[in-house]
Amino acid sequence: MSVNRAQRVDLEVVADLIPPQSRVLDVGSGDGLLLELLQETKQVDGRGLELSQRGVNECVARGLSVIQGDADKDLEFYPDKGFDFVVLSQTLQATRNPKLVLDELLRIGNRAIVSFPNFGHWQVRLSLFVKGRMPVTKDLPYSWYDTPNIHFCTIRDFVNLCEELGATVEKATALDGNGQKIGLSMPWWFWNFFGQQAVFLLRR
């Protein structure tokens, strides 16, 4: 496995939101870490959609139910409310049409769980403000010219998009640079400044 689970705290946060035996579609399932975690700990009926053929083949060889596909194109083939949960983890910023993708997630799943890197994090702001350079951080390791991430947003931006799509935020979690959850009582501006990653549980 290329990525150590410990490095993906957001996956644990996502997994905590999903009750046992749920039907789960993981959009952008990568190397299958989340699906494996969910199958082992929650006995879910899990499916994956992944862009990279190599990722898919490795998942299937490990017994996971994954297909090659593109979140921007292939979600339309899934029926309404076909899953209890549709997860989009660390993928929204790499889609061509995040609004449409989020709309599809809300259509396909009774609940949608979205995790993304927060572009409003203070390190990002600092990089732009002080250095005048596109930020390169631990969570955003790419240079501007080779990044797959074409649609960054901040936590505030995302909350606005949810409102626009008529989605209710049932639960939100922000993780700081050490992967620790930021206290629930903090206001949005605080999360938006100190949250490096965010995980949202949505329904419509």
Partner 1 sequence: MAVLRAAKTNNEVDQPSSPVLRFGPDKPLKLDAGALLSPFQIAYQTYGTLNDARSNAILVCHALTGDQHVASTNPVTGKPGWWQVLIGPGKIIDTNRFFVICSNVLGGCLGSTGPASTNPATGKPYGLDLPVITIRDMVRAQLMLVDHFGIEKLFCVLGGSMGGMQVLEWAASYPERVFSALPIATGARHSSQNIAFHEVGRQAVMADPDWHGGKYFEHGKRPEKGLAVARMAAHITYLSEAALHRKFGRNLQDREALAFGFDADFQIESYLRHQGMTFVDRFDANTYLYLTRAMDYFDLVADHGGRLADAFAGTKTRFCLVSFTSDWLFPTEESRSIVHALNAAGASVSFVEIDTDRGHDAFLLDEPELFAAISGFIGSAARARGLNA
Q: Which residues contribute to the site for partner 1 (CB under 8 A)? A: 45, 47, 53, 56-57, 59-69, 74, 77-79, 82
Identify which of 101, 79, 94, 86 has the alpha carbon closest to the alpha carbon of residue 151.
94
Whether the CB-CB separation of 199 and 114 falls below 8 Å is answered with yes
Work out how close the CB of 141 gets to partner 1 at its nearest, in angstroms, rounded to a whole number. 27
Which CB sits closer to partner 1, 77 or 145?
Answer: 77
Which CB sits closer to partner 1, 45 or 72?
Answer: 45
Work out how close the CB of 42 gets to partner 1 at its nearest, in angstroms, rounded to a whole number. 15
Q: Measured on CA atoms in the order 58, 56, 148, 103, is the torsion positive or negative?
A: negative
Strand spans (E) along the chain: 23-27, 45-50, 66-68, 83-89, 109-117, 168-175, 197-203
Which CB sits closer to partner 1, 64 or 162?
Answer: 64
Work out how close the CB of 192 gets to partner 1 at its nearest, in angstroms, rounded to a whole number. 36
Work out how close the CB of 69 gets to partner 1 at its nearest, in angstroms, rounded to a whole number. 8
Which CB sits closer to partner 1, 25 or 102?
Answer: 25
CB within 8 A of 77, min separation 6: which ones?
none
Residue type, 5: R
